[in-house]
């Protein structure tokens, strides 16, 4: 995520210094969200036997993750302000109303996709509201990012639906079930790719259509039912689709604002 947004800042005219500032702020925000998630889910991860989580294995104390999350969030504030107050407000809204709100409250509710949409959609605005443009991004950039966020939510939840239900998490993916999640992920991600391919001014050209085709193939491979329960491949496929969509955004960076 940090690499994607930093590259988007560079191609949209923020310059080397601006791109570094954007990358540092996004990194701090993402670290705060991830560590907050680990601290909040410590009990659930332990009960589910998550060997990929240091807290669940006993290698890290939950309080350490919580403190690290708060420190990273505090660092995110001045780092975001390097891009100006308007950009900082949007980015911090995405981090708090998106990532932190999801971790603390909304992941257990039927509106669990909303914070993902808010968090991802805030990123193009964070880039373009900073210097030199100080302008809102094009609608297609915001919609594409928001849809990719929702798509990531579907596939990220897929491997853990059974464990989530057993530990009391009933967000929208858990309520709908794995089959519906796979189908929604496919539709959501392909819609995002379609929008960023056909809606920006100008034509996508052969590279753009090749990128869209590759994204479609990755989306299909990531959402087919044959993946075993607990597989992380659907999430990895979503990251691949997101990366290809960002390539499309990067190619249109000069017209994003």
Q: Tell me the residue range of the domain where 148 lies.
A: 138-257
Query: CA–CA separation, 202 vs 99, rounded Å?
Result: 34
Pick the range with the lowest mean pLDDT from 59-73, 80-94, 145-159: 145-159
Chain centroid, CA 68 distance in Å: 20
Q: Which residues contact 62 (CB under 8 A, 6 or more apart)?
A: 38, 39, 42, 55
pLDDT of residue 228: 57
Helix spans in the chain (H): 2-11, 15-40, 42-48, 54-57, 62-81, 85-93, 101-104, 113-128, 139-157, 161-166, 172-176, 178-198, 205-223, 233-251
pLDDT of residue 256: 85
| Whether residue 183 sits in one domain with residue 161 | yes
Query: CA–CA separation, 56 vs 39, rounded Å?
Result: 10
Pick the range with the lowest mean pLDDT from 26-30, 39-43, 119-123, 229-233: 229-233
Q: Which residues contact 171 (CB under 8 A, 6 or more apart)?
A: 106, 107, 108, 109, 110, 112, 157, 164
| Whether residue 69 sits in one domain with residue 45 | yes
Residue 229 in this model has a pLDDT that exceeds 60? no
Residue-averaged pLDDT of the chain: 88
pLDDT tens for 193-220 read 889 888 888 777 788 888 888 888 887 7
CATH at residue 55: 1.10.357
pLDDT of residue 57: 83
Which domain-ending residue is among 90, 110, 136? 136
| Whether residue 84 sits in one domain with residue 15 | yes
Residue 224 in this model has a pLDDT that exceeds 70? no
Chain centroid, CA 25 distance in Å: 15
Which domain-ending residue is among 111, 136, 161? 136
CATH at residue 174: 1.20.120.1780
| Whether residue 132 sits in one domain with residue 8 | yes
Structure-model confidence comparison of residues 58 and 222, the more confident one: 58
Which domain-ending residue is among 136, 164, 181? 136
Whole-model pTM: value is: 0.88
Q: DSSP letter for 108, please.
A: G
Query: CA–CA separation, 83 vs 221, rounded Å?
Result: 38
Into how many domains does the chain fold?
A: 2
pLDDT of residue 131: 92
Rounded alpha-carbon distances, angstroms, from residue 122 to 76, 86, 102, 129: 14, 12, 15, 10
pLDDT of residue 223: 64
Structure-model confidence comparison of residues 248 and 141, the more confident one: 141
Query: CA–CA separation, 53 vs 219, rounded Å?
Result: 26
Structure-model confidence comparison of residues 210 and 31, the more confident one: 31
| Whether residue 151 sits in one domain with residue 71 | no
Identify the sign of the CA torsion 8, 14, 19, 24. negative
């Amino acid at each position: 995520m940090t690499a994607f947004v930093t590259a988007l800042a560079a191609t949209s005219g923020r310059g080397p210094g601006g791109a570094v500032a954007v990358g540092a702020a996004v990194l701090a925000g993402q670290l705060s969200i991830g560590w907050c998630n680990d601290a909040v889910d410590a009990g659930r991860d332990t009960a589910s036997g998550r060997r990929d989580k240091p807290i669940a294995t006993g290698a890290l104390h939950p309080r350490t993750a919580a403190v690290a999350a708060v420190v990273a969030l505090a660092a995110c504030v001045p780092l975001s302000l390097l891009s100006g107050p308007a950009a900082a407000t949007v980015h911090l809204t995405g981090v708090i109303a998106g990532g932190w709100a999801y971790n603390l409250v909304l992941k257990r509710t039927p509106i669990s996709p909303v914070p993902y949409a808010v968090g991802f959609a805030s990123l193009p605005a964070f880039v373009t509201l900073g210097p030199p443009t100080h302008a809102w991004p094009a609608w297609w950039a915001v919609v594409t990012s928001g849809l990719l966020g929702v798509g990531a939510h579907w596939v990220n939840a897929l491997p853990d639906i059974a464990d989530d239900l057993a530990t009391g998490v009933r967000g929208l993916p858990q309520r709908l079930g794995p089959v519906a999640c796979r189908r929604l992920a496919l539709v959501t991600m392909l819609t995002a790719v379609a929008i960023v391919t056909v809606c920006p001014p100008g034509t996508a050209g052969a590279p753009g259509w090749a990128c869209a085709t590759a994204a479609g193939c990755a989306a299909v491979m990531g959402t087919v039912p044959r993946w075993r329960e607990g597989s992380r491949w659907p999430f990895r496929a979503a990251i691949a689709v997101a990366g290809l969509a960002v390539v499309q955004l990067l190619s249109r960076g000069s017209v994003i604002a």
